[in-house]
Amino acid sequence: MRLFSQERKPASNWYVATTHYLTGGLITSALISGIVGFVLSSLIKVENDFLSTTINLIANILALWLGIIYSANYLNRHYIINNRIRVVNLSTIYYLVANSIFIGLFYFYDFLYVVATSLESRQQQVHHLTKPDDLAVLASVTLIETYIFYILSKKYLWP
């Protein structure tokens, strides 16, 4: 006996794409990568930036994969998706734009922190996150994750 109706409802492409991005690309993957990152950082002390970035990238890709599988299963079960390639394209654009905004806000906050710190003491600059090579690595990781989001969404959004 089913308690709730499992009928699939029609939904617009943008609604399904937004739900897919928020569920698979943001919330689920952030929770999983946060938990994995916390566990790994408490178990392993990594001094090498490259190794740390690689471990984070692998954890993020695993979390993204699990989030997309969860989101695709949910969407395929509850909604009638008319144009799947449009949904995949829209959700990928949402993913790239939102991640770019997050990176921009992070670096803007860091810039303000450096300015405030340098006003207090010009001899010491505590925060050095706004190096161009860090931004290039973060942008590269974002592009890799966006491509993986696109490929996995294309694979799993088909019933």
- pLDDT tens for each residue of 9-46: 999 999 999 999 999 999 988 888 888 777 777 777 76
Domain membership flag for residue 5:
no
Instruction: List the one residue out of 153, 63, 139 whose CA is nearest residue 102.
Output: 139
Using a 10 angstrom Cβ sphere, with 0-12 exposed, 13-18 middle and 19 or more buried, the burial of residue 157 is buried
Q: How many Cα atoms are found within 13 Å in the side-chain-facing hemisphere of 49?
A: 5
Domain membership flag for residue 125:
yes
Task: Report how many domains make up the chain.
Answer: 1
Domain membership flag for residue 3:
no
Contact 61, 87 (CB under 8 A): no
The CA-atom distances, in angstroms, between 7 and each of 13, 22, 101 are: 18, 22, 36
Domain membership flag for residue 144:
yes
22-31, 52-61, 127-136, 142-151: lowest mean pLDDT where? 127-136
* pLDDT tens column, 57-108: 888 888 999 999 999 999 999 999 989 999 999 999 999 999 999 888 887 8
* pLDDT at residue 111, rounded to an integer: 73
Domain membership flag for residue 2:
no
What range defines the domain where residue 19 resides? 11-156
* pLDDT at residue 123, rounded to an integer: 46
